[in-house]
Amino acid sequence: MKRRSGDRENRRKGKSLFPASPLPRFSGSRFSVPGFKAAGIACGIKKNNKKDLALIFSEAPATVAGLFTTNKIKAAPVLVDMQRIKKGVCHAVIINSGNANACTGKKGMTAAVKTVTLIEKALDIKKGLAMVSSTGVIGELLPVVNGIEKGIPKLIDALSEEGWDNAAKAIMTTDAFPKIAFEKGKIDGKEVSMLGIAKGAGMICPDMATMLAYIVTDAAVEQNALQNALKNAVNKSFNSITVDGDTSTNDTVLALANGKAGNRPVGSKQYAVSSKDYKTFCGMLEKVCLKLAHMIVRDGEGATKFLEIKVKGAKKEADAKNIALVIANSLLVKTAFFGEDANWGRIMAAIGRAGVDIIGEKISIYFNNTPVVKNGSGTSRDKEADKVIKKKDICLTVDLGMGKAGATVWTTDLTYEYVKINAAYRT
């Protein structure tokens, strides 16, 4: 197997090895949501003057919802945010990349608290209404005084309604490209905008991934409704992707709604939102999250293929998702796709070890629309399968033949380049 030439050089230069689908363009490639500003600058945490500090600011306190890593080892900023989000209101989010501020003990907690205190003071906002995120190398102390504190004045000066591209770049680590998604819709007769940025390329596995994601909207939404909508959207997106099976210490997804659109608040007792309007909001949120999640997978470290794993015919949705994730995380399956080897036996083996009650003789497997297994046995259509597996986008469908439930996850192949990127991560 020949290594894909130029992969390492492209990744080093920040080019995507497997470009995402073209991003939607708005107002001359610029994105904005009324009442929100963003910025991204270099403050010295990363080398070579790379952007490493971002800020999201709502002109008015915004309703906030959030979900955080399920890893038992949680970074200091995650612990700080898990307490602050209980207020249900957020005015600003400050994010640094290049340093995870994880496994740093009391000094790490002090650094996280000092960071939010500094940004609250600089923005002249109420104490307790700023949140903080970090991503990068684990185990190193966050340079607050010599990095973040010195960078805050420049960061605030850079705030702009159209600063999302810089903010998206500033939260990147091994990412090859910034990730931005945008949607518009109507709620209660008012035009509503929604924008999301995210980072992530490695250590990606539910729940959620080494990933940070921030979604802002000018819709008015009650906190409980926002939290429920975010949870459902994340389950269908960020919790349905995997690159390498590793779950991070720093995973964070935050959604902020400032109400500037002027609609009656979704979820309020005074306004029983119509089914249509509620579905519109949830649909917008799901689309933004799914777009970002797909970008993360497409930017998977060293990835050359985008794999959609569909499992149907299960007794329960949980069974289908479990099997899909076992297949998606199988090193043998992932390397087979990289090697363009239509080895369906590895998929069958993964299905069998997922711990789900199945009957092997009922299983069928398809590469795109080409059946490679029918009722538990090979179809001898290897030549057709070999053509499919050379494509960049591949849909692998597994029909268990046991019921009507199903689930879909997205993943990548596993390449030489993934090993090189992670072997040299700290250098």
The answer to whether the beta carbons of residues 56 and 256 sit under 8 Å apart is yes
Domains of the chain listed by start with CATH number: 18-298 (3.60.70.12), 306-423 (3.10.20.340)
What amino acid positions are annotated as catalytic residues?
210
| Residue 138 to residues 64, 102, 152, 396, 425, Cα–Cα distance (Å) | 27, 5, 23, 35, 11
pLDDT at 278: 87
Task: Measure CA 54 to chain center.
Answer: 17
Among residues 347, 33, 294, which one has the least CA distance to residue 162? Answer: 33
Torsion of the alpha carbons at 143, 163, 51 and 88, rounded to the nearest 10? 40
- Give the pLDDT confidence score for residue 129 in this predicted structure: 98
Please say whether the beta carbons of 249 and 71 come within 8 A: yes
Residue 21: the pLDDT is 42
Which pLDDT score, from 0 to 100, does residue 29 have? 45
Residue 6 to residue 10: CA distance in whole angstroms: 6
Q: Which residues pair with 94 in a beta bridge?
A: 55, 132
pLDDT in tens, 378-421: 998 989 999 999 999 999 999 999 999 999 999 999 999 888 87
Dist. CA 417–CA 362, nearest whole Å: 37
Residue with tokens 């205190």: 117
Which residue in 125, 120, 115 sits closest to 145, CA to CA? 115
Q: What is the pLDDT of residue 49?
A: 93
Check whether the bond before 218 is cis (ω within 30° of 0). no
Instruction: Give the tens place of pLDDT for each residue, 193-240.
Output: 999 999 986 555 544 345 899 999 999 999 999 999 999 999 999 999
Whole-Å CA distances, 209 to 171, 203, 265: 15, 6, 31
**In whole angstroms, what is the distance from residue 324 CA to residue 312 CA?**
10
> Which residue numbers in the chain have pLDDT < 50?
1-29, 206-209
Residue 295 has a pLDDT of 94
Residue 375 is given by DSSP the state: T
